[in-house]
Chain A
Amino acid sequence: LTIHAATLSSRKWADRAPAGWLLARAFIGEGRASASWSDDELIAASTRDFAVTLGLRGTPVLTRVARYRHAMPHYTVGHLDRVAAASVALAETPQVVLAGGAYRGVGLPDCIAQGRAAAARLAQRLGGTADPNGPEPPAGGDASETTLRELPVGTVASVAAIAPKHVRELAVEGVGPGTEVAVLGRAPLGGPLVVRAGRARIAVPRGISEGVTVRTSSEPPA
């Protein structure tokens, strides 16, 4: 067989073909047919495969060939690891999120779902709320932003943004957008916050902690 897949479109959806006629769609991947094949060669291969698999005889009255060169990503081994790494890397730039066939599924429903999730995440990061009719944002339904200073003790949050003047000081301690943080305690008399950042513990003066915006993925325990 040459074709990868086929859809009997007029059986699947009404009004795709006049009564008594059949609209069939065949998919051919580049692995099985050369890109140099002519339209006629592709039509011939498809017609032959429909005959072999479904017993459809005869010559089509209407044919259309659409070529989408390099359109569908072919994931290779390790794809999900790479996607995860890319997301981690992009935590640095919260205004950019990934969506599309290259990442988590090539099908239309997959792409639409990714697009909606991305839009919801961006809306959240820009301070608005996600479209109430849209799907749930992937990070959990009741995400909310606050400053590190206000974060209740014991609540796990991730760093969303850092005031520019503190970026470097926190960066050398390994804290940047995306770092998971939790306040372990607050020193008395307005002293520093003891914070678990990633796997380390750091003391963050309260003044600096005000410049760190964090996002909690769930409501703090009551």
Chain B
Amino acid sequence: VKHHVSAAAGSGPGEADLAVVALVGRPNVGKSTFLARASGRFVETANAPGTTVLAERRAVTIDGQAAWLVDLPGTRSLADQPAGCEPFWTFLDAAQPDAILVLVDAGDLGRHLPLALACRDLGLPIVVAANLSDEAERRGIEVDAGRLSQLLVAPVHHTNGRTGHGVRAATRDAIRLAQQRRSVRRGERLPHATQPAPIYPPSLEHDLQLEARQLIGIRSLGASAVDPSGIGALVARGVVSPRGGASLARTADLDATRRALATRWAAQVERLRATRRPLADRLADLVTSPWSGLPIFAAVTVATFLALVLVGGGLATALSAAWSAGVSPVLASVVGAVVPVPALARAVLWALDGGLLAMVSVGIPYILTFYVLLAALEDSGYLTSAAVLLDRLFNALGLPGRAAVPLLAAAGCNVPAIYGTRILGSRRARILGSFLVTLTPCSARTAVVVAALAPFAGPLVAFAAFGVALAITLGAGLAANALIPGRQPAMVLELSPLRMPVPRHVVAKAWNRFRGFVVTAAPIMLIGSFVLGLVWESGAWSPLAAALAPVTTGWLGLPPIVGIAIVFAFLRKELALQLLVALAVIEYGAVGANLGSILTPAQLFVFAIVTTVSIPCAATLATLVQELGARVAAGISAASLGLALVAGGVIARVLGAA
């Protein structure tokens, strides 16, 4: 995986030459809030779907001094290597920073300072922001910034991203140092003669010097064969100093020493005061203890689902009523006037009226609502904290416990759920999670199953169909986990503290993701509906049904027209049943309006299962392509189609329908 850094803002003249400040910090230290404060924009383009950007940069000007601020992903060490990715320092190579702004938790310096030390070792100027100072204050911890800055030989600022306190001052310092280094590199200014005094034991410093000399040697050789890690190249390009490169190569040796130093320094600069434990900490204990945590998790999960159903459902009804009252008649008359051929006009209306209505009545109510809920849950820190209790359950499927959230969302709509798999971390977990998401019946498919089975076979049978679908999903998940290589061993995970989400941040995050969804799904819904309209209005479906007959009738034991309904469910899942009824009326006459008279309950059951399990709808497929690439999307689609056909055929034989 190659990491790219791209310009988020338009790159005007001169911007290419700006100094670069990289933002580095452990996860949950509040970097995105800090960045929002520093740049004055609560826009999270880094997480917006549709971009391959993993690190975002923004031009920031403070007191007339401008620089790029590059937001790097949260990391625990510069050599951190998430599954399937290159080590963290490759981001530095991409960003080419002139200075590093290190965010540390003022309330837990012992754990955060080692990263600051690692950044300092790179040979780049650093500024340390002792962030989350409000949380530290509540825990009775006060940091002597002056003393810490003497120890680090670097500016240290108290900052609070939530209120913005200290953010500008810290950023200004970082920009100043970055500009200085940049002019040194361009030769406009002499480098500082003073080097910070060595802080490690002499033997370690000696090892670092030896390593540094080797790295300089690699530079002169210029061969990649002797530099497999790429650190030599990093040094050669001047991104880090030779000693900085050596410190990257020797991370494992330095870790313990840095940790010991950090513990000692933390003890020297912290002033502790007895306080009552903050409410957030006491809540966090409740949330992660199994006895209280599991019921709370169940409650939050159900509440999320209910909020989605109630708010989403209410909005959906209101919006579709408004659409049919206000927009549909206008569209009908306009399209009728503009398009001369009546059949074509009707096909266009399928797209503009039906397709857009589907967007409006699904996208805004369900998806936007879900994004707001998800962003709030993410920012509160609750998710990673609580879901750890479910880890074991989901581990069997190759997923971490927090997979519960996207899978739940999938019951509403698969598209946001696939974006939601971003919280799963590794690519493997995302693929497995997305596969399960596509197998989870969304609200549209649930409606099809209920409407096809409940009236003709009884509600119990409809219920049984969901049981069968669930069994298929679990079985497929277990099999996929066993088949896809690269099983991740269980890892030590930091649980985020609980904090109140910043509303502006939540809204910005949700809105950006929603925009991404609209950009992806809207064209597909329009085109899909148009194609559906064309096939329908032109009568082209009849030969298609004949072509599909060997599978539909021979294997699944269903009348040929059902094949058409299943195939076109790819374009619009929620229309599968209406299509089937309409086709039945054409094929069998008025009697076809009652599905129970042309299909046996067993055949309806097969239809329901195949519709539910088979290929995800077009919008879901597009999301898969966008998020995981065409190959994975094709693989998931093929797997679910195969699964649907096998399951359908087997069920047909068991029930005696074929």
Chain A residues close to B by CB (< 8 Å): 81, 84-85, 88-89, 91-92, 167-176, 178, 184-192, 194, 198-205, 207-208
Contact = CB atoms under 8 A, between A and B. Distances in A.
Interface of B: 76-77, 80, 107-108, 110-111, 114, 139, 252, 255-256, 259-261, 263-264, 267-268, 284-285, 288-291, 293-294, 385, 388-393, 395, 401, 489-495, 497
A76 to B, nearest CB: 16
Contacts of B80: 172
By Cβ-Cβ distance, the 9 closest A-B pairs, closest first, are A205-B490, A174-B111, A191-B392, A189-B392, A185-B289, A172-B76, A201-B495, A194-B288, A203-B493
B259 A176 contact: yes
Nearest to A87: B264
Contacts of B263: 88-89, 178
A171 B294 contact: no
B164 to A, nearest CB: 25
B389 A88 contact: no
B264 A88 contact: yes
Given A169-B491, A202-B494, A190 B259 contact: no
A105 B481 CA distance: 62
6 contacts: A89-B260, A89-B263, A171-B255, A191-B395, A201-B284, A202-B495
A134 B493 CA distance: 43
Secondary structure of the A contact surface, majority rule = mixed
B259 A174 contact: yes
Contacts of B290: 185-188
B649 to A, nearest CB: 35
Given A171-B259, A173-B76, A190-B392, A200 B111 contact: yes
Given A174-B110, A187-B389, A201 B288 contact: yes
Contacts of B252: 168
Find the residue from A84, A170, A185 having the highest chain B CB count within 10 A.
A185
B255 A172 contact: yes
Given A171-B259, A188-B290, A198 B110 contact: yes
Contacts of A205: 489-492
B251 to A, nearest CB: 9
Max chain A Cβ within 10 angstroms of own Cβ: one of B389, B401, B497: B389
A189 B268 contact: no
Contacts of B108: 174, 198-200
Contacts of A172: 76-77, 80, 255
A184 B638 CA distance: 44
Nearest to B264: A85
B260 A88 contact: yes
B256 A185 contact: no
Given A184-B289, A187-B392, A194-B388, A85 B268 contact: yes
Contacts of A185: 288-291, 293, 389
A176 B256 contact: yes
Contact of B389 (A175, A188, A199): A188
With a 10 A CB-CB cut-off, give which of A169, A199, A205 has the most chain B CB atoms.
A199
A167 to B, nearest CB: 8
B104 to A, nearest CB: 12
Contacts of B294: 188
Contact of B494 (A81, A173, A184, A188): A173
